[in-house]
């Protein structure tokens, strides 16, 4: 039996580019204008809460895209991507804590939690944290380095399937317990909060919130287009071949290790960027972002949106988090039941997720 790589898919059909362009125009022009220029009582005014919510969901969309890349195209189900998201967030949070300066509760150059714990000097790993360049570098470097080391050890040992998923969740849980400890120097269970400024500007200023929203959208758009181009090329065909028939790909001379490791590390870096953009918008980062439930929810976004695609995880992140915002304001105690039901129903009736709904309807129409 001959072996063939999957045929390349177009980046987007013409109609898809048109829809993407319209969404981009709305996000980059209309929403900022409505937030900055319209009066608060205007029906089209976007409040600070609404802008923060949209920015937060954009960051979740980027995290969902990252997990969809490694799960849908490489076949590696990670239940620990919340770790990379949180590491990127902590890198940005350290910078934001340094920007508080003497405006904190204790009016000290040290962050408030260090003063409360009777620390007299900054830990060595906080060196350089007052620089935005350092923060942006660590936001990418730390998640990428952790993923590179872990991925090399795991993929080189041929760990795969449910065993790899369990190990990723155990890694995330161990990191959460570590960050909960006060002596680690990351704020303990309270984490980082009460941010004041970013690049010298008040972090709560409308212009800053709009800028962070636009940056989040541009990061998501650039990541989507870049990953789509990568998966459309030769690399994408090889990684999908490894996913579908790793033994055959090895027989043809392809070493799965560098391909899996690259996708895994790239996915972690994208999650780190998402976490770094998330923190200044929501105003807090703590170890709860590493809780296993956070990583499991990311997997649910991908499954509901559509695994094996790049737009699907983004749609899933927007759908689930939009529903979460709405439902938790009405019946918060039943949200997890609704999430579980949504996941089960999608698995039973929409195995390809929301993006596969059109195909299901078309198939039923043809059958009639």
Q: pLDDT of 258-277, one tens digit each? A: 999 999 999 999 999 999 99
Residues 263/71, Cβ–Cβ less than 8 Å: no
Q: Is 159 within the bounds of a domain? A: yes
Asked whether residue 133 is assigned to any structural domain, the reply reads yes
Task: Tell whether 189 is covered by a domain.
Answer: yes
Give the pLDDT of residue 9. 43
Residue 281 pLDDT more than 60? yes
297 part of a folded domain:
no
Residue 94: its pLDDT value, please? 96
In a domain, 32, yes or no: yes
If one compares 365 and 165, the residue with the highest pLDDT of the two is 165
Cβ neighbors of 66 (< 8 A, separation 6 or more) are 81, 84, 223, 266, 267, 268, 270, 271, 274
Using the predicted structure, report yes or no on whether residue 8 has a pLDDT greater than 50.
Answer: no
Task: Name the region of 70 (left: φ>0; alpha: ψ -120 to 50; beta: rest).
Answer: alpha
Helix (H, G, I), strand (E, B) or coil at 68: helix
What is the Cα–Cα distance from 198 to 219, expressed in whole angstroms?
A: 18
DSSP 8-class letter at 329: T
Tell me what the mean pLDDT of segment 11-40 comes to.
Answer: 72
- What pLDDT, in 10s, does the model give residues 109-166? 888 889 888 888 899 999 999 999 999 999 999 999 999 999 999 999 999 889 999 9
pTM (two decimals): 0.92
Q: Looking at the 3D structure of the chain, how many domains does it have?
A: 1
DSSP secondary structure letter of residue 198: E
pLDDT tier for residue 342 given thresholds of 50, 70 and 90: confident
The whole domain housing 196 covers: 14-292
Q: Which range among 126-130, 252-256, 332-336 shows the weakest confidence by mean pLDDT? A: 332-336
Judged by average pLDDT, the poorest of 15-19, 234-238, 243-247 is 15-19
| Nearest CA among 56, 117, 77, 70 for reference residue 289 | 56
Q: Which residue has the tokens 């949504």?
A: 342
- Give the model confidence (pLDDT) of 284-306 as tens digits: 999 999 999 999 999 999 999 99
Task: Name which of 56, 97, 78 is nearest 275 in CA terms.
Answer: 56
């Amino acid at each position: 039996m001959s072996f063939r790589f999957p045929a390349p898919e177009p980046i987007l059909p013409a109609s898809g580019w048109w829809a993407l362009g319209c969404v981009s125009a709305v996000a980059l022009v209309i929403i900022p204008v409505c937030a900055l220029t319209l009066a608060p009582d205007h029906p089209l005014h976007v409040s600070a809460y609404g802008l923060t919510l949209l920015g937060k969901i954009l960051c979740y969309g980027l995290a969902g895209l990252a997990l969809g890349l490694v799960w849908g195209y490489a076949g590696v189900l990670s239940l620990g991507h919340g770790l990379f998201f949180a590491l990127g967030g902590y890198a940005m949070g350290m910078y934001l804590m340094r920007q508080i300066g003497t405006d904190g509760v204790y009016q000290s150059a040290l962050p408030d939690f260090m003063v409360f714990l009777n620390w007299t000097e900054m830990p060595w790993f906080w060196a350089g944290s007052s620089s935005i360049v350092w923060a942006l570098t660590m936001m990418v470097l730390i998640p990428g380095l952790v993923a590179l080391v872990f991925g090399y050890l795991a993929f080189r040992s041929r760990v795969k399937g449910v065993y790899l998923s369990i190990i990723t969740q155990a890694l995330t849980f161990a990191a959460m317990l570590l960050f909960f400890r006060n002596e680690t120097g990351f704020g303990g269970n309270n984490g980082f909060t009460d941010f004041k400024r970013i690049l010298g500007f008040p972090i709560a200023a409308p212009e800053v919130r709009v800028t962070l929203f636009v940056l989040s959208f541009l990061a998501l758009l650039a990541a989507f287009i870049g990953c789509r181009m990568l998966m459309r090329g030769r690399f994408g065909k090889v990684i999908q071949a490894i996913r579908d028939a790793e033994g055959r790909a090895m027989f043809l001379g392809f070493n799965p290790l560098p391909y899996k490791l690259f996708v895994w590390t790239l996915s972690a870096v994208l999650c780190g960027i998402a976490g770094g953009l998330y923190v200044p918008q929501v105003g807090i980062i703590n170890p709860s972002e590493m809780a296993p439930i956070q990583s499991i929810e990311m997997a649910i976004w991908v499954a509901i949106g559509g695994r094996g695609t790049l737009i699907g995880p983004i749609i899933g992140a927007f759908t689930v988090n939009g529903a979460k915002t709405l439902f938790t304001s009405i019946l918060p105690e039943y949200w997890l039941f609704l999430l579980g039901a949504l996941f089960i129903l999608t698995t039973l009736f929409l195995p390809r997720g929301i993006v596969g709904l059109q195909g299901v309807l078309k198939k039923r129409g043809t059958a009639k």
